[in-house]
Every structure is written in structure tokens, then in C-alpha cells.
Structure 1
Amino acid sequence: MAKFSSTGNSQPRWLFPFVITAISCLSIVPLGRLVYAGALSIMGGGAGDLLVDPQVWHAVVNSLVTSLAGTLISVVLGGAFALALALTDIRGRWLLSFLFMLPTMIPPQVTALSFVGMTGPSSPLLKALGIAPPLGSPQPLYSLGGIALLLGIQHAPLVYLSLRAGLLSLPREGVEAAQLSGASPMRVLRDIILPLSIPGAIAGAAIAFVSAIGNFGIPAILGIPGSIITLPTLIYSRFASFDSGTFGDIAMLSGIIALIAVIGLAIQDRALKGRDYRVIGLSGPVASFKLEGRRLPVEIMLWLCLACILLAPFAALLAASLVPTYGVALSLDTATLSAYREILFRQSVTQMAFFNSIFLAGATAIGLLVITVLAAYTLSKRRGFIAGLIKSSIDIPYALPGIVIAVAFILLFAAPLPILKVTIYGTIWIILLAYFSSFLAVSFKPVMSAFLQLDPALEEAARLSGAGFRHRLVDILLPLIAPSAGASVILVFLIACNELTVSALLWSAGTQTLGVAIYNLDDSGSYDLASALSVLVVLMVVVLMLILEGLADRLPRGVVPWRN
């Protein structure tokens, strides 16, 4: 029989120590090992050599330029969609929101490949349309501007989500009072809506910046051919040319990325100081504007924007996957499914990548669900400093760039484990543990939200009736949080299945993931195979998002991100 704590919350004594241990192993220990390695390297004089290396400073400057420019693009693009979809009466808002969310759900290397196929002189789609640039023309995306553009598109949905959340909670009375007083829509937008939405825009910009600074897929696909190196690609290249000082170098480079990310978040906090605009009264979509005669032009502009950033690139990717080799114009005579047959039935590497990604994503989703259900149950009943520290420890790995998490786990498991004398470095298990750390917050948020909405009287009544912890959890709590738990599993599976940044440093022979396979196929010149694999990944993403949409009516608000 389980022993219970004396705190009055009827939790078994082992539960809170288990939660602390699990979160520490997934968050505090790996990041502590990274800090320790960086400190050792600095004390050994490694920092001096690194700081005088011109390549490092070029990477820092390139990372800052592309991330800041990409963030600006994300704010403009995400802000425009948020204002249009949250405040106006345009038609098809659900579909527009669903499609606009796709770029952030699609792996960044797939985004990069699709745009390369849409703009290059060898594009099968442009050749079929007769508008391809002359052969030998430079690829415009192999530049700082190209990287910034795609980072902006990739992370615009993050700004959209943050800004839309604030717009949907606007004070209904304030907007309606201004309209009844004769204020024009532009004045209401300028004097009421935009000032109140500044916190959401700043928060979204900070998230976009942190995501951009650690993005590996887009700078790798576009930057390496154009000889443009960023911090994530520099870490990758240093790791590929391994020598005695590699661990110290990548620890310090990862520390630079983490420091830039932390500075970005600190600037966000500073900018939000004094901008805590609390409103009183009803809120919601009633605070909207009727576009009347301008509705159709606005709808056309939104759909054209989606066509440029989503539909046309996917069409180019699909065209590239249907030709026998990259550079051949797509036509009825050249169309073939040979690339799909190759990756599905002949290429053992891509078959293994499918298996590895599905296994890793499934194991991460299910394993994290067990941890987060117990953690959310515990933390929903506890307050105080330790509970707050645990919640922060859950959020920190997700806030850091994925390449920092990968380096932390490399340093942690590069040597055999003490006492056990075994190592998981170079195996699929190190990728699994890194996924556990990276996506812990993704799994935790929906489950915690569900527990906070439960009436504690239900569990208390069962406890007074003699039901033990296991029976209360299985018979009462789990059925009530099942929709959120299902959403947590799908969200984690969706993100983990398409991940590249973490696995790019951790994979070895036989442990390639889909993200790594796509990157390696493109890097080896097999663009048609990379395109075919990317098309299948996009279709899988859409199917998983539609499944999540099917659960939406049973989930707490905010779990399905594209829903208003």
C-alpha cells in the first residue's frame, strides 16, 4: 500500500521525489554538464583562442543579422494575419489559420528545399511554366537575405499565435464605445487595439528570435552552398572535424547561442515592463471590424500570401519529386514515381529513417506523457519556491535552441556512465533522451492545463470513499484529462517526427531520422529523393494536424493552436 505524505494533499510519498528526479535528469543535469564543460574550457585558455577566431565572429554576426531580419519579417507577416483573422469578418478563417500554421509544423529543411525548388534556374516547376531563370543564374536564396526570409516565414506563426491571443481578449466594451463615439476603424486600431496588443507582439517577436538563432535546417540548406556560416552550422562543422579541443569549443559556442537567446528574452522582459495592460469587462471576437466592400480584396491578399509562402513552394517540391532528375522540366512525358519507389522500397537508409523517426516520436510522446501526467498532478496541488523551480526547469530546455540541448547530451554521455560502465553515445537512446528534454514542456502544458480545470472535490470524494492513489488516477483523473493527454501525444509526435536540429549532432550510422535523411540526401545531390521524402513528411504533418483538429472540441482552449 502506498505511503502518503503528511502535507494534506493525499499524494504518495514517492511521487514528489520522483518528479524532482525526472525533471532534474532531463533538464538540470544536462545543462549543468554543458556549463561545467564550458567553464573548464575557459579556465584552460580555450576561450581566448575561440574569441580571436574570425570564423566565430562571422558566424555570430551572420546569426544575429539573419535572426533579427527574420524576426522583423515574422512580426510583419504574423501580425498582418493575426489582425485580419482575429478582428475582421473575413470568410474561411479556420482554413486560413490552419494553413498559416503549417510552416512552423513543417521541418525547416523541407521549407528550405521547397523554396530552392521554386526559385532556382533548375526548378522543374519553373521550367515547365517556361519562366525559369537562365542556366548559370545565381540562386538568390543562397544569401543572408534568403536565410532571413525563410526564417521569417518559418517563425511567423509563432508571432501570429502570441499576438492573436491578445487580440481575442480585447475589451469588448472599450472597442464598442469608441465605435459608437464615431471613431473611425483606423483610429480604433491605432489608439486602442495596437497599444493593447504590444505585449503579445513583443512576446511573439522574442519567441521568433530565439527560434531563429538556433535554427539549423534553413542556414544549413541555404548557407553552406553560399559559404555563409551561422553559429549552429559552425557547431555542426566543428563537430564533423573532431579533434582534441572539439568538446570545449562546441560547449562555448553553444554557450554563445544560449547567451544570445537569454539576452533576447531579457530584452523582451525589459520591453514588457510597464506594459501589463489589464482590462476589465467582456472580451472576445465581438470586438471586430466589418470590412464590407474591402473584405474581398483583403481575402485575396491573404490567399495570395499563402500561395507564395506555402502552396507554390509545395508545388515546386512536388514537381521536383516527380521528375527523373533535378533540372528536368516536369511534363506528362517526364513525370515518374521512381523517387518515391526508391525511398520507400529500395533505400534502406530512408526506410530506417522512417522507422527511427516514428519510434523516437512515439516513444517520446508516450514516455513524456507518463512523466508529465505525474508532474502535472503533483504541481497542480503544490505552491511555493520548489514547485516554481520545477516548472521553470521544465520550460528552460524548450526555450533554448535545440543544438544547445544536443551538445549538452553529447557532453553528458560522451564517456561511459559511472558505475555501469556503459555508454549510450552513438545509439538511438541518446537521441530519445534529448527529445525527452527538448519536448518536455510541449507535453506538460496541455496536461497541466487539464489538471488545473478539474474540480478537486471529485478526487477528494473518491479518497474519502477509500480509493487509493492508483484507482483515483486511473478511474477518475485520467478519463477526465484524456482529450488533453491525446493532444499532448499528437503534438509531441508531430514535432519530434520532423525534428532535425537535435538529431543532426546526435545521429550515427543506423540512427538517422527523417530530418537527417532529408538533409543528407540534399547534401549528396539527390534533390529528387530529398523532395519525395519531404512531400511524404508534409502529408504526414497535415494528417496529424487534421487528427488533432478532430479532437479540438474536447480540448481546453489553446491546445489546438490554429483554432480561434
Structure 2
Amino acid sequence: MSVAQPALTVAPPVRLKPQRSVGLIIVYALTAAALLLLTVYPMVWLLIGSLSDRDGGYSVANYIELHDKFGAGGVLINSWVFAFGAAAAATITGVLLAVLVARTDVPLKKLARFSAILAFVSPPWLTAMAYVYIASPNAGLVNQLFDQIVGIKPFDIQSMSGMIFVTALFLYSFVFLTVEAALSSVDGSFEEAARVAGARPLRVIRTVTLPLVTPAIVSATAFSIIIAWGLFAVPAILGMPARIYVFSTQLYLFLSSFPPRLELAAAMGVTFVATALVVGMLVWVVQRRRQSNSFAVVIGKGARAAAVPLRRWRPVAALFIVLLSLLSVIGPYLVVLWMSLNTRWFGNASLAGLSLANFDYVVRQYFAFWQISGNTLRIAAMEVVIVLLVATAVSYFTRRTKLRGRFLLQGAAMYTLLVPSVAFLTAVMWAWIGAPIALYGGLTLIAMTQAARSLPIATRNIGDGFGQIDRSLEEAARICGAGRLRTLATVTLPLLRPVLLAAFTVVFLSALRDLNTPLFLGGGSTKSMTLSVLIFQFWSETRIGEAAALTIILLSVTLAIFLPLSRTFSRGY
């Protein structure tokens, strides 16, 4: 007797949603908390501080007082003239140099690139100190020489034009590096087609080459304006003695007065953040209009553009490179070295006064030199750790996950690019000066603030690095059984090593030369002072030789770190 078997029913396949690991969610939440603490929280306090009055209420009285008592309109105009003038001069110089190096047969290309890189990594106050020694209106060596020969002193570096000139010698390097990189990636067949059609070299550059890299030029110019707005060293060294005040120096006066006028500093900070956002919006509009009419200029088999022969203009172009290198790097380096070895009066040019006494004093006799040097390195190390961890996490979540809110993380990491540095420092002061956690005046807060300022560049570079890695490599590891963390550690991060090393170099060197953050947030104590602040303190006390000696020491440390790393990159690490 047979028993009927029950029919087997096959259930339809069930699609399982991909499970997100608990660890990933925890890291995502920690990254969001870190960004909230580093970049968002201070800016909320900047707005609150700008509206706070002395009675504990809120009003717009601070903005009215800024305009009525402190001539904020004049400071605003000075800041615009200074920032736009320096950015314009830097853009013209940097774009011209980039075109010469990338598109012509100009000689001395290695000198042009190396000088631009040195100008980029050198502290801005080095150039300012050198030109004060050379071209100050009364005691400058060149003015003294002209006075003895023709009876006039023609140069006045302590003026608005002097501030623009010195700042442009620092900013042109950023424009050059950005535009040259863009020119190197553009397909040269477009320019070759214009030449075949009969266009002359100058017309090809004007109508084809420059329009192709307009987005890079616009971005570099806008970034130069933001840097100039937040620059303190050059306006302090060159402008304050002549009573020319810009945004950063006026903020410094508010914060160094007794009692400090934090509420006025916050109101001025909000004003300039709004100004910076206007510039950012204009850049976005220009780029969006260009994108609507854009076309591909980088292709897989792009041709390299032939070098345009300069013929009789070749010596003129070479002279331009030599002169720019002398004005921006070689001359300032030599002058500051001379100042560091000089123990006599300011304008002395005699060999009889040269010795190592200034170096002996700052290294062996100054009581806090080693402590301050250690502070500088510790801040730089902490900043690098914070930046690399947060920027890598943000880039990973943006490029490798579909978590909700990941682009908000990217925005929180990138927006400080548009905020002038001294405005952000004012925000940090408002956020932490009265907090129950005693961070103000400590190394940790300085490192956190510098990290917030460095996050945009690191996040963009590391994000581009993720974009260049084929996902199939990571998928192969996952198929072999590796988890997300193991795949990241054994596949992704090793491939990102060159990008991470580049980010480390930029962040560490910027930390060594940063003056604004430790000056505004250090509280004046040697426990949190850095070499850059000590240099500014010596200069303010007219201890020129000691300031120059410390500058040479800091520059030597910077080059000792940078040059080996630059050789690593040049070998195709």
C-alpha cells in the first residue's frame, strides 16, 4: 500500500538587503561627531557671538558699533583691495609662468618649478621680513643706497602696494602649480588643430589654451583671495607700522585689547564669512555656466602639445624666470640668512658684524626654545593624525558607501575652504573659551583648529585617490572572504599610499609654518607657543637677528622634511 507523499513547494527566492556592519555605522557616527566638533560647532558660536551684547541679550549692536566707531567700512575696503590686488598679481604671474613652462621651449623649467614649490612651502613672513630689511622707507638697504647716490628713497614696502607685492610672491606658486597641472592633462590636439588652421602661437594660447583651463584659473584665483583675506603675517609686518589695517590685523587688535572685544571680532568675522561666501557663489556660477557648454578635453589617447618656439623672446622669458626666482625665493632666503648672521644695527651691510651669536642665543640661551620646538612638532603630529583619519573616513563613505547623509559629511569637511582663517579662529575662540572642558590655550585645540582648516585639501585629494582605484580590486578581496575592514587595510590603503603621503606632506608643512592659529588660540603662554609665534614675538620686539635666526631654523626643518619627500614623488612612488 503506497502512501501519497506531500508535494514539495519551492519558495520563491528572497532578496536579502545588504547588511551594513555595526562597525561601519559606529565609524560613520564617530566621523560625523568629529566633523560636528571640528567645523560646525564653532561657526554656530560665531553667529551667536556676533549677536551677543554686554547685557546678556542679543541684538545687532555689535555691527552698528563696528561701522560707527571702528571704521569697518574702511577695513573692508582695504581687505578687498589687498586680497583682490594680491590675487590678481599672483594669477597673472602664475598663469604666465605655467604657460611658459607647459607650452613653450623656455629654458630653466626646473628652476621655475623648484622655485614655485619653495615659495609655496616657505612661511609668508620670511619674504615680508626680507623686504622690510631691503626696502623699508627709512632704514632699508636699497633706500639707503639710493639716498647716498641720488638723494631719494624711492621704495616703501610698508604700504598697500608693498603688501600686495609680497603676498603675490607667495600666492603665485599656488596658481602656477594648479594651472600647470591642468595644462599637463589637457589634450594637445586642440591646439595643434588651431595651428594647422593658421593661428599664430599667441592667438592659440589666448583663444584655445587658456579657455581650456579656465576652471583651474578661476578656482586658483578664488582660493588665492580667500588665503589673502585670512593672511596675518604680511599685513602685520608691512601694514600695521603704516596704520594700514585689514581684516586679520583689525581682528588681532580686537582680541589683544584689554578687555578683548570678542563680540566685535565675531561680528567682523560674520561679515567676512558672508563676503567669502559671495566669492564662492560667483565661482560656482561661473563654473556651472561653463559646465553647461563644456566638452571633453582629457581623453585616453590624448596628444602632447608641441612646445611653442619662443625664438627671439626666449632670453626674455628666461630672464622673467630668473627674476621671479630671485624676488620670491633666492633673494629673500639670502637676505634672511644675512639678517640672522648680523649682530649690529638694522641697516648694517658690513661683514664685520657677522657671527653666529643670534643662533647661539635662540638655541642655547633662550629658556624655552626646546619646549617651543617640541610644541611645534607635537601640534603638527596631532594635526596630521586628525586630518588623515577624518579625511580618509569621509572619502571612504562618500566614494565606497551609499549611506544616507554621506554628502553632508563631505560638505562639513570642505566648507572651511571658503572661510577666512582668522574668522574661523574667532569662531573657535567663542566656542571654547568658556567651555567646561579647558581646551583654550592648549596644544589640542590648536591642532584641532589647524586640522579643520586643512581638511578640505586632504579630503579632496584622498577622495580623488579613491576615485582612481578600480572597485574590482576590492570586490576580488571580498569574494575571497575578506571583510570590509580587512579589504580596506590590505588592498585600498596600500594603493592610496602615495596620496596619503602627499596629504601628510602638505598638512605637516602647513602646520609648521602656521602663525594665525597658535597666535590667536595659544593664550601667550610658552606652554602652547610655537616657533612661528616666537618669531613674530621677536620681530614685534625689534629683535631682528633672533627672529631671522629662528626663521632659518624653521625653514631648515621644513626643507629637511620636504626635499626627501619631493624626491620620492619625482621617482614615481
For normalisation by structure 2, the TM-score amounts to 0.88
Equivalent of residue 29 in structure 1, options 29, 34, 41: 41
Pairing partner for 2:111 from 92, 95, 99:
95
2:487, 2:352 → 1: CA distance? 64
Q: In the alignment, which residue of structure 1 is the partner of 2:281?
A: 266
Q: 1:52-451 alignment to 2 at 5 Å?
A: 52-120=68-136, 131=145, 133=147, 140-243=156-259, 246-276=261-291, 277-280=294-297, 281=299, 282-283=301-302, 285-327=304-346, 329-383=348-402, 386-417=405-436, 422-451=437-466
Deviates more, 1:494-503 or 1:106-115: 106-115
- State the secondary structure of the residue aligned to 2:344: coil
The answer as to whether partners of 2:78 and 2:245 remain within 8 angstroms in 1 is yes
Q: What runs of 5+ residues in structure 2 fail to find an aligned partner?
A: 1-15
Q: Is the 8 A contact 1:431 1:507 kept in 2?
A: yes
Instruction: Choose the corresponding residue for 1:537, options 549, 554, 560.
Output: 554
Structure 2 match to 1:521: 538
CA distance in 2, matches of 1:165, 1:250: 38
Deviations 1:76-110 (A, max 9, x none): 21121111111112234233112123223222222
Query: C-alpha displacement at 1:464, in angstroms?
Result: 3.3
1:328-354: per-residue Cα shift (whole Å, max 9, x none)? 534442210111111112113443332
Structure 1 counterpart of 2:370, one-letter code = Q
Taking only aligned residues, the RMSD between alpha carbons, in angstroms, comes to: 2.7
Tell me the amino acid that sits aligned with residue 250 of structure 1. A
Q: Displacement, 1:481?
A: 1.8
Task: Report how far residue 288 of structure 1 moved.
Answer: 3.4
Partner of 1:507: 522
> How far did residue 121 of structure 1 move?
6.7
Q: Conserved in 1, the CA contact under 8 Å of 2:86 and 2:164?
A: yes
Q: Secondary structure in 2 aligned to 1:193? A: helix
Tell which structure's C-alpha radius of gyration is larger: 2
Contact 2:478 2:487 survives alignment (8 Å): yes
Q: CA deviation at 1:138?
A: 8.5
Q: Is the 8 A contact 2:51 2:62 kept in 1?
A: no
Assess, with a 3 A threshold, how the Cα gap between structure 1 residues 461 and 483 changes in structure 2: closer, same or farther.
same
Distance 1:334 1:325, change over 3 A: closer
Return the TM-score normalized by structure 1.
Answer: 0.89
Query: How far is the alpha carbon of 1:360 from its aligned partner?
Result: 0.5
Please point out which of 488, 499, 504 is paired with 1:484: 499
SS at match of 1:131: helix
- Percent identical: 22
Write the distance in 2 (CA, Å) between the matches of 1:93 and 1:214.
31
How has the CA–CA distance of structure 1 residues 262 and 133 changed in structure 2, closer, same or farther, with 3 Å as cutoff?
Answer: farther
Change (3 A) 1:121 1:243: closer
2:11 matched residue in structure 1: none
How far apart are the structure 2 equivalents of 1:336 and 1:131? 24
- Counterpart AA for 2:415: I
Change (3 A) 1:89 1:231: same
CA distance in 2, matches of 1:352, 1:6: 56
Residues 425 and 517, structure 2, Cα contact 8 Å, conserved in 1: yes
Q: Aligned residue for 1:19?
A: 31
Q: Distance in 1 between matches of 2:441 and 2:166?
A: 32
Cα 1:73–1:333 shift into 2, 3 Å:
same
Q: 1:28-48 CA distances to partner (integer Å, 9 max, x unpaired)? A: 111122122224456263222
2:86–2:165 CA contact under 8 A, matched in 1: yes
In structure 1, how many angstroms separate the alpha carbons of the residues matched to 2:327 and 2:421? Answer: 28
* AA aligned opposite 2:357: S
Q: Deviations over 1:184-242 (max 9, x none)?
A: 11221232223333333222221111111111111011111111111111111111114
Alpha carbons of 1:402 and 1:523: their partners in 2 closer, same or farther (altered >3 Å)? same
Report the Cα distance in structure 1 between the residues aligned to 2:80 and 2:229, rounded to whole angstroms: 7
Residue type matched to 2:175 in 1?
V
**Partners of 1:45 and 1:214 in 2: how far apart?**
25
